[in-house]
Amino acid sequence: MPCGEERVRVVSYPAKGSRILRTVGIVLIVLGVVLIVLCVPLWAWLSLIGAMLILAGLLLLRR
């Protein structure tokens, strides 16, 4: 290889898959979200909402 010449390897994502694969992917994502929502206990959701309310209050006080 001559001095100063660089070889660049170009990596590209594969072309978008078929409509069926895309649909299956979306269904899997939705099922995963539903499982998480159903399995997380109520106290965890309430603590998350409480933390968001505290953060919103702090943001409002800073203005």
CA-angle at 32, arms to 24 and 18, nearest 5° = 15
pTM above 0.95, yes or no: no
> Residue 18's pLDDT is what?
85
Question: What is the extent of the structural domain holding 35?
Answer: 19-62
| Across 10-31, average pLDDT | 83
Report which of 40, 42, 19, 22 is spatially closest to residue 30, judged by C-alpha positions. Answer: 22
Structurally, the chain folds into a number of domains equal to 1
Say yes or no to pLDDT of 1 above 60: no
pLDDT in tens, 35-51: 998 999 999 999 999 99
> Residue 21's pLDDT is what?
87
* 27 domain-assigned: yes
* 3 domain-assigned: no
